[in-house]
Amino acid sequence: MILLQLIYSGIALGMIYAVIAFGYQLTFATSGTLNFGQGEALMLGALVGLTLVGLGVNYWVMIPIVCIFGFAQGALVERVGVRPAIKARSEFGWIMATIALGIIFKNVAENIWGRDDLRFPSPLPEAPIQVLGANVLPMELLVVFGALAMMLLVEIFNRKSIYGKAFVATSNDRDAAGLMGINTGMVITFSYALSSLTAAFAGVLVAPLTLTGATMGAVLGLKAFAVAIIGGLSSGMGVVVGGLILGIAETTTGFYLSTGYKDVPGLVLLLLVLTFKPAGLFGKTAIKKV
């Protein structure tokens, strides 16, 4: 039963990685760039959510407010850091810009909320429930279903709405989409906004299970990037599978070996994937004719 309980905890952790990695996919699909401040978007979402809850806002009412905040924060990152680099055709400018903005957001958070970790009150009972003989926290179940629901809603939006179809068209061929009258610049802005929205949403999901602070996003964002690489930056299924693999590997390794080694299996898997399947487990290798 201990193993089953570790698997349950790993699934919840893995789904948090997956929903952040899903945000990496959104920006890469439209612009070929990544927001290396995804972890800070998660951190800001969690801290803004904690402030709203502290002001008496109901947790379920707080979630859409935090999502709107995350949407605006992502659009700001694209406008300030990414768009100038794309216009200047700078190969690495967007990397340094998103990293720099992430550091700025972290410093702002430290000055507003302090450097100490804070406890985020759980909206659900903290007593575990029995599932197939093992204990599961209700909040862990919310994390799993909430992350899956967020990714499903984005997929439905992309497939059913006219704006989502513009998103898909831009991801398939940005130049052709522009020639067809699609404002690809706005689509890229929207992809960054949606990416940060998913990260902020992940922040308020994971915050009641961990301590909330200005440094909480750094490790989560980095591991989510590893998940995106392992699963494939072009595969939604890949980030889910990659997140589950990494989450379960961390919880089981931390228990059976040592917490000091819990990061090793994921990094080893990352190195193996980069060596033998650089496009990711579910990614497609792009072939360019010159």
Q: How large is the average pLDDT for residues 98-110?
A: 93
List helix spans (H) across the chain: 2-31, 38-54, 59-77, 83-87, 93-113, 138-160, 162-172, 174-179, 184-206, 216-231, 236-256, 264-276
Look at residue 268 and tell me if it is in a domain: no
For residues 101 and 62, give the distance between their C-alpha atoms in angstroms, rounded to a whole number. 25
pLDDT at 200: 94
Q: Is the pLDDT at 47 greater than 50, yes or no?
A: yes
**Does residue 278 lie within any of the structural domains?**
no
Domain count of the chain? Answer: 1
- C-alpha separations of 67 from 48, 109, 124, 201 in Å: 10, 18, 20, 6
Distance CA 40, CA 21 (A): 13
pLDDT tens digits for 238-263?
A: 888 888 988 898 888 888 877 777 77
Is 90 exceeded by the pLDDT of residue 66? yes
Task: Look at residue 289 and tell me if it is in a domain.
Answer: no
pLDDT value of residue 63: 95
Whether pTM > 0.75 for this model: the answer is yes
Pairing of strands 129-131, 211-212: unpaired
| d(C-alpha 240, C-alpha 81), whole Å | 28
| pLDDT 10s digits, 144-194 | 899 889 888 888 887 778 877 887 788 777 778 887 888 888 888 999 999
Please give the mean pLDDT across all residues of the chain: 86
Rounded to whole angstroms, how far apart are CA atoms 271 and 263? 13
Asked if residue 174 belongs to a domain, the reply is yes
Containing domain of residue 16, as a range?
1-223
| Nearest to 147, CA basis, from 77, 55, 244 | 244
Query: Which among 63, 143, 44 is positioned nearest to 35, based on CA atoms?
Result: 44
Q: What percent of the chain has pLDDT over 70?
A: 97
Residue 136: inside a domain: yes
pLDDT value, residue 286: 53
